[in-house]
Structure 1
């Protein structure tokens, strides 16, 4: 699947191409002629065709929604990109009904906004990033407070294991550190046993590309984060809801400061 924003450049069309692969979207900026662009579209369509039965409209809408949402949040479809229902349907080889539902969900997520001339435009989430981080701090802090009274011994034991993994992990093992950090936070907010709160947290967690931030962490930053995790586990084991909420919010505030610095450096 390709979502294309194009403009003429010295007799060529400069296309921003987003192709669905087995690993998700691939962003590739490249100048192509109209002829070569048509050839690529044909190749993508051939890869999408297969003998598998067609999914239901609801499943198809969810597939389109999830792929577009991921591409937008990961910066593979850039802000201010215009998406047109008919074009997206053609590129996904889908009918317009599931695409319309997917776009409606993106509008409700505030990831795209309707345009007066038709279609929708991807919003600039970069300008809201600091605000979104503050919301995350409040939500995960509240979840930690609830978890203090509801977390099980088995869950506390798993947090201890993740702490040990954090101590053993190498500074350059970004993917391993991301996986450990994600698992640590998931155990805590899932221990809140609040389905509504968990759903809200999961919605916001997709905004945070931890790899981009952790790669900027110094050894001291990493040691501080691991110390925060240790303090959080101790407060949970003591069933101290007030303290653990404060600790989680302080921990995520550090992430927000580092994320802001990282994004300013990249800019």
Structure 2
């Protein structure tokens, strides 16, 4: 983890994410790539002569620059390497491509509380990022004075098409020096015996040696409640889930996990693309 891409609209929620990124950068010696997107046509902006045929374009460019200057002067960014830049004509759906172009290993972004998480999975900017990103996305909901990950829940159905996401989660847990809690949720409509579930999980993780883990079979009324309740039971610091790219989180667990998972999660959530 060398570079963290942090999109900002200069809101409080975006700053919450930036503060978390700053803590990660200090602990793991990362560079922060602070990005503001202006969905303006680049061909109408003359960057050399600082001129645009769109007066509002110049206004937003200068406003963004001023806000960048104020933001990077914050005490919590002191001593860190922070690159700030504006991308024109790009949408949040292309954030992963920007991240890959810049060499980012992780996207850290904020969300607007419960309603924001609900919007995240039904068409918001964060939803676009999660659905399209090949880079893991860490979604921050609240301000964290001390973002210290010790207990990391990785929830899955533990089928073979998810193995790459587990490798990413295990690598992240190792970076954080965290314990990863593998949890499979049993429901009445999709029940698996404990023995079969444990065997499936052990087969799932055997190719990626990582010793600091626990295996958990959790019974609940539905998958979403199971993940949330298990995470609360162990006071988890982070919840990890998988997505299927453009199909989004609705196809997680080969079924339908609703936006309720992150809508109601008070904890940070990180997504990995299958």
Normalised by the shorter chain, which TM-score bucket?
Answer: under 0.3
Structure 1 or 2: larger helix share? 1
Indicate the structure whose relative CO is greater, using CA pairs within 8 Å and at least 6 residues apart. 2
Point out the structure with the larger strand share: 2
Compute the TM-score of the two structures, normalised by the length of structure 2: 0.27
- What TM-score, normalized to structure 1? 0.27
